[in-house]
Amino acid sequence: MKTITLIPGDGIGPEISDAVTKIIEAAGVKINWDIQSAGADVAEKEGTPLPDRVIDSIKKNKIALKAPVTTPIGKGFRSVNVALRKSLDLYACLRPAKNIPGIKTRFDNVDLIVVRENTEDLYAGIERQIDENKAESIKIITREASERIADYAFDYAVKNNRKKVTAVSKANICKLSDGLFLEAARAVAKKYPQIEYNEILVDNLCMQLVINPSKFDVLVLPNLYGDIVSDLTSGLIGGLGVAQGANIGKDCAVFEPVHGSAPDIKGQNKANPTALLLSACMMLDYIGEKDSSQKIKNALYKVLEEGKTLTLDLGGSASTTEFRDEIIKNLQ
């Protein structure tokens, strides 16, 4: 039996984690979950929101499934999510946005992959208050990290039969930092002549994505643009409740949805577990459990296509647990 770290998170995290682990179990996949709490409650008890035991568990098991963890805005501890990605060097954030059977959206031809650099940019957390009326944040872009993420994007394109990689920047304004990102992407592109390469400014990308998303295939972006654009692409396929993701490094991988801890619906049995479930399916594919992953996706798609048992965010009135049970009923 495989041991996998499970971070149930906070907010809606524990509710959707419970639904997802029960669906995986019902699909017949035997996983020994090494449950590791993290976040604000943990900080109160253990003095830090991300104790070493969480990192050690992932280092040992190599794979984790993670539900969202709240990050206080402004004051308070640094994001657990950012710290986790950094300390495990999970440099590639992979966020596929593909239409999901049964979920009606404005477009029925969305099939793109957001590859977000996960370790630097403004997320390096280097900020200072100069005086009470002035603060600054430093944006770090290195050739090494930029080449590494570009290489990941091109390699992904080759392995997954994709045709084009688009590097996204604001190099007209951030001439040095984003300029370096593009320089690195161009150098890597030369190694992959079979993949088409082009570049776009992030503001233009946003406009084009909401008009014609089928123009894009694999997008590679520095951290901040990747964060924002992947919420936009989640919107193209039905919203945050259904958007899957993974953070991948050389040694470990942490699978987690795009969305956050949704404090507005916490503890109300209303959250949609689809995004975490699809992230878990990415994880099952990653560990070679492709048949079980497909079985779960088929059951999910059936429930979504029937449209009778949907959570609130998808226009239905079903609770998280009713939605979970309907998926379990459809597992074959």
List of residues contacting ligand NAI (CB under 6 A): 12, 68-71, 81, 240-241, 256, 259-265, 271-272, 275, 313
3-state secondary structure of 58: helix
178 vs 256 by CB, closer to ligand NAI: 256
Residue corresponding to tokens 């951290």: 223
Q: Using CA atoms in the order 156, 158, 163, 168, what is the torsion angle rounded to 10 degrees?
A: 40
**Closest-approach residue to ligand NAI (CB):** 260
| Alpha carbon distance 292, 306 (integer Å) | 21
- The region, left, alpha or beta by phi > 0 then psi within -120 to 50, assigned to residue 197 is beta
The single-letter DSSP state of residue 78 is P
Closest distance between ligand NAI and the C-beta of residue 241, in Å? 4
Closest distance between ligand NAI and the C-beta of residue 303, in Å? 15
148 vs 259 by CB, closer to ligand NAI: 259
71 vs 244 by CB, closer to ligand NAI: 71
78 vs 98 by CB, closer to ligand NAI: 78
Closest distance between ligand NAI and the C-beta of residue 272, in Å? 4
44 vs 131 by CB, closer to ligand NAI: 44
| 2 burial level (CB within 10 Å; 0-12, 13-18, 19+) | middle
Find the distance separating the first CA and the last CA of the chain, reported in whole Å: 22
Closest distance between ligand NAI and the C-beta of residue 228, in Å? 11
Closest distance between ligand NAI and the C-beta of residue 273, in Å? 7
71 vs 146 by CB, closer to ligand NAI: 71
Which residues, 6 or more positions from 52, have their beta carbon under 8 angstroms from its beta carbon? none
Write out the DSSP string of 214-283.
Answer: GG-SEEEE-HHHHHHHHHHHHHHTT-GGG---EEE-SS-EEE--SS---GGGTTTT----HHHHHHHHHH
32 vs 268 by CB, closer to ligand NAI: 268
Token couple for 49: 């929101």
| Alpha carbon distance 128, 114 (integer Å) | 31
Closest distance between ligand NAI and the C-beta of residue 24, in Å? 17
Closest distance between ligand NAI and the C-beta of residue 60, in Å? 22
